[in-house]
C-alpha cells in the first residue's frame, strides 16, 4: 500500500521533497505506470523519419513499463492515426515490421482491417451471431501534431494537449522547428541506474551546475539562470556569457534583449525539449524498473555551424555527468536513515513543481 503522508506544501520555504521511498519502492512505479504514464502525452515519432503513405509503423509504447503494442497508420499526410497493433480476434500482433501496406492482415487467422482500423474480412465466420460489431475494429488512440512531432496518450484525460504544449509554443513558437533535420549519428540512448523521477529531479534545477558541470558552468551565467514553473511543466532559461552562441530573438519574444543560450523545457511527466542556437535535443525518459531508466536523446539540427558552440556544445559530456550524480543519489536514498529533503526556494522551484504534481495525483488514488 502506498504511503500518502507526503509533505509537499504549496509554500516552498516550508515544503519537504518526495519521501525516499518514492524512488526505491517498486509499488510507486507500478502506481506511476497507470496514474501517470498511461494517461499522459508521449512522443511517438517525427515527420522527418516518416515515409509517405500508405505506410505502417509498429512501435511499443514504453516497452518496460506499459508494454503496449501500437502502430502509426499512414494513408496520406492528412490521414494518419494511432491504432492498436493487437488483432481483435485472438490477440496476435498484426504488424511486425514497418513498411508500405494498403491493409492490415493478421498472420494467425487472416483477419483483415483497413488502414483506419475498421474490420473488413475474416475467413470461416459462418454462423457467428452479432458479427461484425464495433468491438471487431482496432481500437484507436488520439494523435496530436506539434511542428512535426507526433504524440499520443494511451488513456487520455489527465492533461488537455493544448494546455500541455501551449506554454512552449508561446515562448519558442517563432523557431522553425518543423524544418529541423533529424541527425541519427548524434542521437543515442543511455541506461541510467536510477529511478526515472530522480533523473527528472536533476534536470529540473540549475542548482547543481557549478558543482557537477564545470564546462557548462563556463557557458552559462549562473546568477541569471531562471526557472519558470508552469501548470504541467517547467521552463529553465540559460543565459549565456559574453561571446557565447545565443539566440537571435524576435522583438516580440518575452526574452528579447537577453543573451539566451538555452531553453530547457520539461513537459510532465518525462519529455524534455532542449533548444539551443544550433537546434534541438529531445530527451525522453523511459522507466525500466524502480532503479533503472533509459533516456533517449534525439537530435534535430537547425544551424549546423553552431553545433560546437555555447551551452549546447557537448550534451554527451553533460549527460554522463548527470548520470554519475543521479546514480550516486539512487545509492544514497537506499539508506534507512534518509527520509526526505528540503527545497532551495530560489533554485529548486522546478523540482518543487514536479513534486507538487506527483503528490496531487497520488492523493487522488
- For 9-61, what is each residue's pLDDT tens digit? 999 999 999 999 999 999 999 999 999 999 999 999 998 878 888 999 999 99
- The C-alpha cell 480476434 sits at 89
- The C-alpha cell 529531445 sits at 282
Q: Which three cell numbers stand for residue 266?
A: 520539461
Closest CA to 201 of 65, 310, 66, 340: 340
**Numbers of helices and strands, H then E, in the chain:** 8, 18
Q: What are phi and psi of 307, to 5 degrees?
A: -60, -35
Q: What is the pLDDT of residues 112-168, one digit of tens each?
A: 999 999 999 999 989 999 999 999 999 999 999 999 999 999 998 899 999 999 989
Helix boundaries (H) for the chain: 21-24, 26-32, 161-172, 196-203, 209-212, 214-219, 315-332, 349-362
Quick one: pLDDT at residue 243? Answer: 76
- The C-alpha cell 534535430 sits at 300
Mean pLDDT of 245-261: 94
Closest CA to 6 of 333, 257, 130, 21: 21
In angstroms, the CA 322 to CA 77 distance is: 39
Q: What is the pTM of this model?
A: 0.94
Q: How confident is the model at residue 1 (pLDDT cuts 50, 70, 90)?
A: low
Who contacts 105 (Cβ-Cβ below 8 Å, separation ≥6)? 94, 111, 112, 113
In angstroms, the CA 47 to CA 281 distance is: 16
**Contact between residue 115 and residue 107 where contact means Cβ atoms under 8 Å apart:** no
**Assigned CATH class of 166-362:** alpha beta
CATH topology of domain 46-146: Rieske Iron-sulfur Protein (2.102.10)
Q: Provide the mean pLDDT of the chain.
A: 93
Quick one: pLDDT at residue 4? Answer: 59
Who contacts 300 (Cβ-Cβ below 8 Å, separation ≥6)? 46, 48, 177, 180, 181, 182, 183, 279, 280, 281, 282
**Contact between residue 310 and residue 243 where contact means Cβ atoms under 8 Å apart:** no
Q: How confident is the model at residue 204 (pLDDT cuts 50, 70, 90)?
A: very high
**Contact between residue 335 and residue 303 where contact means Cβ atoms under 8 Å apart:** no
Domain residue limits, the chain: 46-146, 166-362
Q: What are phi and psi of 119, to 5 degrees?
A: -60, 135
In angstroms, the CA 15 to CA 13 distance is: 6
Q: What are phi and psi of 320, to 5 degrees?
A: -65, -35
Quick one: pLDDT at residue 3? Answer: 65
Q: How confident is the model at residue 263 (pLDDT cuts 50, 70, 90)?
A: very high
In angstroms, the CA 86 to CA 349 distance is: 42
Instruction: State the CB neighbour count (10 A cutoff) for residue 176.
Output: 8
**How many Å is the Cα radius of gyration of the chain?**
22
Closest CA to 299 of 167, 220, 169, 187: 187
Amino acid at each position: 500500500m502506498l504511503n500518502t503522508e507526503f509533505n509537499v506544501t504549496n509554500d516552498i520555504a516550508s515544503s519537504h521533497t518526495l519521501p525516499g521511498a518514492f524512488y526505491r519502492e517498486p509499488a510507486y512505479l507500478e502506481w506511476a505506470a497507470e496514474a501517470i504514464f498511461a494517461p499522459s502525452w508521449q512522443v511517438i515519432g517525427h515527420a522527418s523519419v516518416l515515409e509517405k503513405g500508405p505506410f505502417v509503423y509498429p512501435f511499443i509504447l514504453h516497452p518496460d513499463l506499459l508494454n503496449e503494442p501500437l502502430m502509426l497508420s499512414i494513408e496520406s499526410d492528412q490521414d494518419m492515426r494511432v491504432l492498436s497493433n493487437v488483432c481483435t480476434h485472438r490477440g496476435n500482433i498484426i504488424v511486425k515490421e514497418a513498411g508500405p501496406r494498403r491493409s492490415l492482415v493478421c498472420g494467425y487467422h487472416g483477419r483483415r482491417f483497413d488502414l483506419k482500423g475498421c474490420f473488413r474480412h475474416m475467413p470461416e465466420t459462418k454462423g457467428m451471431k452479432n458479427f461484425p460489431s464495433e468491438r471487431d475494429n482496432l481500437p484507436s488512440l488520439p494523435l496530436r501534431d506539434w511542428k512535426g512531432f507526433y504524440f499520443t496518450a494511451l488513456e487520455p484525460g489527465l492533461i488537455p494537449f493544448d494546455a500541455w504544449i501551449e506554454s512552449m509554443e508561446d515562448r519558442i513558437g517563432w523557431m522553425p522547428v518543423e524544418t529541423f533535420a533529424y541527425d541519427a549519428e548524434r542521437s543515442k540512448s543511455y541506461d541510467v541506474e536510477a529511478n526515472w523521477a530522480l533523473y527528472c529531479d536533476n534536470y529540473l534545477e540549475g542548482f547543481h551546475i557549478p558543482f557537477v558541470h564545470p564546462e557548462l558552468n563556463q557557458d552559462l551565467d549562473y546568477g541569471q539562470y531562471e526557472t519558470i514553473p508552469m501548470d504541467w511543466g517547467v521552463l529553465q532559461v540559460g543565459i549565456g556569457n559574453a561571446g557565447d552562441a545565443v539566440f537571435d530573438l524576435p522583438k516580440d519574444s518575452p526574452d528579447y534583449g537577453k543573451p539566451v543560450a538555452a531553453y530547457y523545457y520539461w513537459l510532465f511527466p518525462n519529455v524534455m525539449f532542449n533548444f539551443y542556437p544550433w537546434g534541438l535535443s529531445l530527451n525522453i525518459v523511459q522507466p525500466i524498473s524502480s532503479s533503472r531508466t533509459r533516456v533517449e536523446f534525439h537530435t534535430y539540427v537547425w544551424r549546423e555551424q553552431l553545433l560546437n558552440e555555447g551551452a549546447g556544445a557537448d550534451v554527451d559530456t553533460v549527460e554522463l555527468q548527470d548520470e554519475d550524480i543521479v546514480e550516486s543519489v539512487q545509492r544514497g536514498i537506499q539508506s534507512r536513515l534518509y527520509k526526505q529533503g528540503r527545497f532551495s526556494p530560489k533554485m529548486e522551484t522546478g523540482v518543487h513543481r514536479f513534486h507538487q504534481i506527483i503528490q496531487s495525483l497520488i492523493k487522488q488514488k
